[in-house]
Amino acid sequence: MSLFKEYDIRGVYPAELSEEEAILIGKSIAAYSRTKKIVVGRDGRLSSPALAKSLIKGITSQGADVVDIGVVSTPMLYYAAIKMKSWGVMVTASHNPKEYNGFKTIDNKGVMRHYSTGMKDVEKIYVKNIFQKRKSGTVVKKNILPKYLAELKKSFSGKFGAKATIDFSNGSGSVPKKIFDLLKIKHRKMYDRIDGNFPHHECNPLKPAALIALKKAVVIEDSDVGIIFDGDADRVGFIDENGDVAEPDFIFILLAMHELEKKQGNFYHDLRFSKSVEENIPTAHKLRVGNPFFKDALRNDKKSILAAELSGHIMYKEHYNIDDALYASLKLLQYLSHRKEKLSKLIASLKKYYKSEEINLNVIDKDAALLKIEDIYSKYEIERIDGITVKGNGFWFNVRKSNTEPLIRVVIEAGTEENLYRVREKLLSELR
């Protein structure tokens, strides 16, 4: 199985991704980019120091200099690379279990490089494994934290009234945790010691088991919101004051409303988001799944403001199009402080429909499954942004192939709970 995935490079350490592989990947990225400088950061996984060292060895062997910024969140790596107008590579497996690791890449224009925008060519260089002998590049260490904190503080000047409980998931998202003190936000930190064993729960906010401790803590602490980061803090999840999950669709609506109080503009959202989004945000536009596409939309649209995915990636144009969990969290806290209303009440006012969780199905022939559903529902309106979205009488659903796993993914929304159940049972039986 290839280490080169749709959006990054990733595998189990050391069985699939070893130090030797990291050297070769470093060589390949340097050879492909032909750049003079690459910023390298790493998360808190147990294998990250060894893989970062090997990656740097590979990069410098091809003549490129390295700026080593040490343990950081992925948004901090992106920020550093953008500020230095340099390529950047982050050693991280993001939200994956502890045995995984990998690399995320950004170019010197701030564009995330994925399989369709260059990493396929990096893979070809990697497979060929033929490199020119060059004079070794240099390595310098740099602390990006003070500059990053100073810019955040400047962006969020003002009084915060809302109280937060923040679960850092023992990940590298805790590196800039001082910002909550600098902004004088009432808060309680949870699991903010970096530990690559992730001893308390998986570093994935989408996993229900990862939310149990935070849900309890929010209620006990009488907080206005619970915030949970994934392992490298490019994804975020939220809990309301009652300990219930605040769905990404409705967080997106609230964040968009917050921005619309200041200026008009365009918003981009996951096609799996509730129909409530388009009803509340007229300038919201649906996109296919995959955070690189949201970043591209923000970058290419001068009137864009904000984009968000169901998986918890939230990006602001004003913040260099970075999917930064911390930045999005501060935005929500700012809005809650301004509105002085409970998060659950704000969300309840937006809920009009009944929606399923994302349902994952193992299907032998994914293409045949999509064709079958398209044929069965041909009398309805069908969109083909990503997989197929069927708009029926009082319901809609999306069926698409996973970009990262051998699965079919399904989301359904309906006007009544009964209709949701009916559509769900019929659709799943057809897919099976």
What are the pLDDT tens digits along the chain (432 aa)? 689 998 999 999 999 999 999 999 999 999 999 999 999 999 999 999 999 999 999 999 999 999 999 999 999 999 999 999 999 999 999 999 999 999 999 999 999 999 999 999 999 999 999 999 999 999 999 999 999 999 999 999 889 999 999 999 999 999 999 999 999 999 999 999 999 999 999 999 999 999 999 999 999 999 999 999 999 999 999 999 999 999 999 999 999 999 999 999 999 999 999 999 999 999 999 999 999 999 999 999 999 999 999 999 999 999 999 999 999 999 999 999 999 899 999 999 999 999 999 999 998 888 999 999 999 999 999 999 999 999 999 999 999 998 767 789 999 999 999 999 999 999 999 998
Phi, psi (5° rounding) for residue 332? -65, -40
| pTM listed for this prediction | 0.96
In the chain, the amino acid numbered 312 is: G
Q: What are phi and psi of 219, to 5 degrees?
A: -70, -45
CA distances from 398 to 83, 351, 386 (A): 39, 19, 8
The pLDDT value given to residue 175: 98
**Which residues are registered as beta bridge partners of 65?**
37
The predicted structure's pLDDT at residue 1: 63
Peptide bond between residue 14 and the one before it cis (omega within 30 degrees of 0) = yes
3-state secondary structure of 398: strand
Backbone angles phi, psi at 19, to 5 degrees: -60, -35
Predicted local distance difference test score (pLDDT) of residue 34: 96
- Rounded Cα gap, residues 150 and 132, in angstroms: 42
Helices (H), 185-324: 208-221, 248-260, 276-280, 291-300
Q: Are 408 and 361 in contact (CB under 8 A)?
A: yes
Cross-strand bridge partners of residue 11 = 101
**Can you tell me which residue has the tokens 């293409």?**
367
pLDDT at site 363? 85
Half-sphere exposure of 227 (CA within 13 A, CB side): 31
pLDDT at 364: 84
Q: Which of the residues are catalytic?
A: 94
Q: Looking at residue 100, what is its pLDDT? A: 98
DSSP secondary structure string for all residues of 46-103:
TTHHHHHHHHHHHHHHTT-EEEEEEE--HHHHHHHHHHHT-EEEEE--TTS-TTEEEE
Q: Amino acid letter at 53?
A: K
Give the integer Cα–Cα distance in Å for 265 and 259: 9
| pLDDT for position 198 | 98
H helices of 175-244, in order, are 179-182, 208-221
Q: Mind listing the domains of the chain with CATH numbers?
A: 9-143 (3.40.120.10), 146-348 (3.40.120.10), 354-431 (3.30.310.50)
Which residues in 92-209 belong to E strands, given as ranges?
100-106, 112-113, 139-141, 164-167, 187-190
Q: Is 422 left (phi over 0), alpha (psi -120 to 50) or beta?
A: alpha
C-alpha dist (Å) from residue 53 to 76, 92, 132, 336: 19, 13, 21, 42
| Strands 245-246 and 266-270, sheet pairing | unpaired
Helix (H) / strand (E) containing 228: strand 225-229
Cα gap 122→33, rounded to integer Å:
9
Kindly provide the b/e burial profile for residues 123-153, where b requires at least 16 CB atoms within 10 angstroms of the residue's own CB. bebbeeeeeeeeeebeeeeeebbeebbeebe
